[in-house]
Amino acid sequence: MRVVHVVCDLSGGGAERMVLELARRTPGAEVIALQPGGRLGRDFARAGIRVRCAGRRRGTLGAVALARMVGWLGTADVVHTHLWAGHVWGQAAAVVARVAVRVATLHGESSGESPHKRRLLRHALRGAVRVSVSSAAAADMVIPNGIELVRYRASWQGGGSILGVGRLVWEKGFDVLAAAASDLGVVVVGEGPEEAALRSAGIRCPGFVEDLPERLATASVVVVPSRREAFGLAALEAMAAGTPIVATRVGGLPEVLGDAALWVPPDDPTAMRQSIRRILDNPGLCRRLSALGRARAARFGLDRVVASYTGLYQRLQRDENSAQDRRPQTIQ
């Protein structure tokens, strides 16, 4: 079965990381990136995953790029698209290429889009099977994200920084974390347009790091201050590491974290600081949240995610083959 994923680029966001893990574990899977660049390019290359780029320069997509994609998708059995631009361009190319089995994973991208872009997304997804990473987004079915749990098996030690992890964008709410606790030693791992503002507010921003499991194991608390969050891969990683968590009750985070976090409203630095201090001052609470997180994270293993998608691909292909067999044949 030839599965082709379509993504915007190979940046280090949660959606792109999930594409890497799915493609790595699906024999023969390929990837089409709409734009060049992205820090995950080396990881795709190391995994032996074929990646082709539709646009030759960033921000330059048009008829030629679409034609390239149509040609590449001509023999695909399944086209699986991700994120807004990936859906719009990838699904259009799949329709023109007459790929019968089309899947679209909704990573929460429609929640912050304009009404015009939401209408365009709905049009693009007609005829595709829509999968959401949590029930926070309406879709045909839910397949949660997952992680390689063995990477986070080291025992949580604590005693380190207050840690945030994610893209440095407004939706992630790290400005609220800065207002709540910049004097308590906050480190935010990630990159994005909010970096300069966070630095000026006293937050240490080391960029993306290779040793995230180790940082999680030594952090005193992980704060997930999101304003919008369809799933929260960073929250799952913290939970798997056994790190106590403070999180905002938005989107798919309650579905992921359950009772393994202290909950605060979004955009409330006072409540956030109080919850952070509660964890820092209460070793018993730390141990309880750590144990709850480890136990809950076990249900989000990457093998389950891959098996769910593989089963979906196979079922959709069987249904399509059965439908073709039932169609009347034209006598030449």
Structural domains of the chain, ranges and CATH numbers in brackets: 3-146+302-322 (3.40.50.2000), 149-300 (3.40.50.2000)
**Which pair of tokens denotes residue 65?**
């790029």
Of all residues in the chain, the percent with pLDDT exceeding 90 is 87
pLDDT tens by residue, 283-328: 999 999 999 999 999 999 999 999 999 999 999 999 998 877 666 6
Least confident residue range of 2-16, 177-191, 273-287, 317-331:
317-331
Residues with Cβ within 8 Å of residue 303, at least 6 apart in sequence = 146
**Which pair of tokens denotes residue 331?**
């006598």
Q: Residue 220: pLDDT band by 50, 70, 90 thresholds? A: very high
* pLDDT higher than threshold 90 for residue 224: yes
| Of the candidates 311, 305, 316, the residue with the CA atom closest to the CA atom of residue 99 | 316
**Which pair of tokens denotes residue 27?**
């024999």
Spatial separation of the C-alpha atoms in residues 48 and 117, rounded to whole Å: 34
Average pLDDT in the 49-64 region?
88
**Burial zone of 77 (CB within 10 Å; 0-12 exposed, 13-18 middle, 19+ buried):** middle
| Residue 144, CA distances (Å) to 130, 132, 293, 309 in order | 13, 7, 16, 10
Residues with Cβ within 8 Å of residue 96, at least 6 apart in sequence = 66, 70
Q: Residue 112: pLDDT band by 50, 70, 90 thresholds? A: low
Q: Residue 109: pLDDT band by 50, 70, 90 thresholds? A: low
Q: How many CB atoms lie within 10 A of CB 284?
A: 7
Spatial separation of the C-alpha atoms in residues 314 and 317, rounded to whole Å: 5
Q: In degrees to the nearest 10, what's the CA dihedral of 281, 264, 12, 159?
A: 0
Spatial separation of the C-alpha atoms in residues 212 and 219, rounded to whole Å: 10
pLDDT tens by residue, 132-165: 999 987 789 999 999 999 999 999 999 999 999 9
Average pLDDT, the chain: 94
**Which pair of tokens denotes residue 252?**
């798919």
pLDDT value at residue 111: 61
